[in-house]
Amino acid sequence: MNELITRISESVGIDAETAQKAVGAILAFLEREGPADKVKEMLAAVPGAQELISMAPADGMLSMGGVMGLGQKLMGMGMGMGEISGVAKETIGYARENGSSEAIDEIIASIPGLSQFV
């Protein structure tokens, strides 16, 4: 987990706490929206994934769903579109590097609108 968070902090330019919450929000979204078996495989490739998910901010009462809802949550954390895209790409890239490339392709294909951010 520390390796991914450090990587995101350095490449995207956000602090570690924001990076942890953002990655947690992304992983929680994928867990909720993606095919369960493929997401399980992907989460296994990200050390500390469940801990990161537990750090994600809770959904607000007026939160919208889907990719737009995730974007809304991340913007609510003070992130801009470039930072959101950077965190998403680094998170997905890290999971790919750790052996779940095929699962990630299937997850991305199964969630409408996700491919434009990763």
Locate the domains of the chain by residue range: 2-116
Measured between alpha carbons, how far is 114 from 118 in angstroms, rounded to an integer?
7
How crowded is residue 88: how many other Cβ atoms within 10 Å of its Cβ?
Answer: 24
Mean local confidence (pLDDT), 59-76? 81
Give the pLDDT score at 45: 86
**What does pTM read for this prediction?**
0.91
Among 31, 52, 51, 32, which Cα is nearest to 40's? 31
Structure tokens given for 24 = 């947690």
Check whether 86 has a pLDDT greater than 60: yes
pLDDT cut 70: percent of the chain above it: 97
Among 92, 96, 102, 100, which Cα is nearest to 30's? 92
Check whether 64 has a pLDDT greater than 80: no
Model confidence at 42, pLDDT cuts 50, 70, 90, reads very high
CATH number of 2-116: 1.10.490
